[in-house]
Amino acid sequence: MLQPVRFAAIFALCALAFIGNPSPAAAQDRRVPSSQAELQLSYAPIVQRVQPAVVNVYAAKTVQNRNPFMDDPFFRRFFGAPGQQPEQMQRSLGSGVMVDGSGLVVTNNHVIEGADQVKVSLADKREYEAEIVLKDSRTDLAVLRLKGTNKEKFATLDFANSDQLQVGDVVLAIGNPFGVGQTVTHGIISALARTQVGITDYQFFIQTDAAINPGNSGGALVDMTGRLAGINTAIFSRSGGSQGIGFAIPANMVRVVVASAKSGGKAVKRPWLGARLQAVTPEIAETLGLKLPTGALVANVAPNSPAAKAGLKLSDLIIGIDGTPIDDPNAFDYRFATRPLGGNAEIEVQRAGKPVKLTVPLETAPDTNRDEIVLTARSPFQGARVANISPALADELHLDAGAEGVVVTELADDGTAANVGFQKGDIILAVNNEKIVRTSDLDKVSKAGSRIWRVTLVRGGQQINVTLGG
């Protein structure tokens, strides 16, 4: 099964030392060793160069142990109010990569998620407190900044162009698997553009057989020029250890997240299409007269969106972007999201069997009037964070383009909303026959103290009516 590579590790890829150190700017030299002497060459020069830029990330959060029986008024009445509950410190260990000499580190979001304290340990054993600059759950990436550095300059890794990687390229990984200490492994790129991994919103992973184990999350995947090819994030394993199938987030996606952090943003800025896409099944391909089930079929277009401005229409089949073929919606999402803002993208579509080229402006989705709140009143919605749907939020949660209303954006683990079965992405349409248009409407209804709750919601495009309480 797929597992995020939790607990720590640093992956940095080292380069094959062909007579002298390769220049970071040079293209990777792809050739089979031609002699016994070349087989005896070492990765050591590249390892020594990249190791200082790979770090350990330590995260900790305080959890208060809670007796669930004390939530029941009956138990509180007979056993008294709960006293001070004991606290427990939960710790996680991961890796990171220094991407800016001022002390900016990129790691996996799951390494630091919910942390109260974050520390970064460098290869030379120096330790620094770190602040979380930006978190992006859609890519499972986070950016940290070291505190108290006294304007020191740190070793960094440059980004490779991950679109130029090829299956069979040699890569190295440096990490701290199982907490044993910094470890170097090597392998090849086993596959590119893996889109059926199911870890993050942007499914477009580099697969490698370089040994990745628990503890390697957030570490560097480095190509043979010593540049960052990707951030290791997960493994496929039935045992919990490496079985030769690891996944890394491509450097071109990492670059987008880091750029947003450097610009001072609290959220990643990426292009917005304003259309919902669906995969082409064999049945759909047969209907469309396609030889292969490939491309991304347009299922919905939001009014006034970039897609609408470009002339994209329902049932258009997207087959390419800027000259790169598109196999499925995940591939398009990645290619489109890594395009630089401010310009245009040329999208190739098939419309009624004929090729059409459209120019789509690369702009961010409007994100206004979210009015995000946490519902605390005693009701089925207690513990739910809800927001008014904006185009940006609809894009983030994969809702229908143009969706309106109030959507659940987060659920507290110990909240009533999670316990009764609400899910992230649920759109609340009505409660007890009262239409819910804004978060203030839901807040007001949740405070009514009703015994019966009749809720109408949309989940996965389907309208559902449920009755709670009684």
- pLDDT, residue 304, reads 87
CATH of domain 275-361: 2.30.42.10
The residue with greater pLDDT, 175 or 143, is: 143
Rounded Cα distance, 17 and 230, in Å: 21
- Per-residue pLDDT averaged across 408-432, rounded? 90
- pLDDT, residue 23, reads 44
Please confirm, yes or no, whether 110 is among the known catalytic residues: yes
- pLDDT, residue 184, reads 84
Fold of the 2-20+41-52+158-261 domain: Thrombin, subunit H (2.40.10)
Residue 238 predicted with pLDDT over 70: no
**Catalytic residue from among 92, 110, 390, 446:** 110
Please confirm, yes or no, whether 140 is among the known catalytic residues: yes
406-419 residue pLDDT tens: 999 999 888 889 88
- pLDDT, residue 336, reads 93
- pLDDT, residue 350, reads 93
**Catalytic residue from among 95, 121, 217, 237:** 217
The answer to whether the beta carbons of residues 239 and 193 sit under 8 Å apart is: no
- pLDDT, residue 456, reads 92
- Per-residue pLDDT averaged across 185-211, rounded? 78
Residue 426 predicted with pLDDT over 90: yes
- pLDDT, residue 128, reads 93
- pLDDT, residue 115, reads 84
Give residue 470's pLDDT band: very low, low, confident or very high (50, 70, 90). very low
Residue 318 predicted with pLDDT over 60: yes
Give residue 87's pLDDT band: very low, low, confident or very high (50, 70, 90). low
Give residue 448's pLDDT band: very low, low, confident or very high (50, 70, 90). confident
Residue 351 predicted with pLDDT over 60: yes
Tell me what percent of the residues of the chain surpass a pLDDT of 90.
39
CATH of domain 53-146: 2.40.10.10
Extract the tokens encoding 391.
């185009």
Residue 192 predicted with pLDDT over 90: no
The answer to whether the beta carbons of residues 22 and 225 sit under 8 Å apart is: yes
The answer to whether the beta carbons of residues 57 and 21 sit under 8 Å apart is: no
Q: Which of 170-179, 219-228, 434-443 has the lowest mean pLDDT?
A: 170-179
Residue 280 predicted with pLDDT over 50: yes
Residue 37 predicted with pLDDT over 90: no
- pLDDT, residue 353, reads 85
| Buried-exposed string 88-114: b where 16+ CB fall within 10 A, e elsewhere | eeeebbbbbbbbbeebbbbbbbbbbee
C-alpha closest to that of 306 among 253, 344, 279: 344
Would you list the domain boundaries of the chain? 2-20+41-52+158-261, 53-146, 275-361, 373-469
Highest mean pLDDT among 103-107, 239-243, 261-265: 103-107
Backbone phi and psi for residue 348, each to the nearest 5 degrees, phi listed first: -100, 125
- pLDDT, residue 26, reads 47
Residue 240 predicted with pLDDT over 70: no
352-399 residue pLDDT tens: 889 999 999 999 988 878 889 999 998 999 999 999 998 888 888 878
Please confirm, yes or no, whether 121 is among the known catalytic residues: no
Which pTM value belongs to this model?
0.75
122-131 residue pLDDT tens: 988 899 999 9
Residue 220 predicted with pLDDT over 50: yes
450-469 residue pLDDT tens: 888 999 999 988 898 988 87
Residue 182 predicted with pLDDT over 80: no
- pLDDT, residue 25, reads 44
- pLDDT, residue 290, reads 87
Same fold, 275-361 and 373-469: yes
The residue with greater pLDDT, 91 or 287, is: 287
- pLDDT, residue 24, reads 44
Give residue 325's pLDDT band: very low, low, confident or very high (50, 70, 90). very high
- pLDDT, residue 461, reads 80
Extract the tokens encoding 337.
């999201």
Tell me what percent of the residues of the chain surpass a pLDDT of 70.
81
Domain 373-469 indexed as CATH 3.30.565.10: no
**Catalytic residue from among 92, 95, 136, 140:** 140
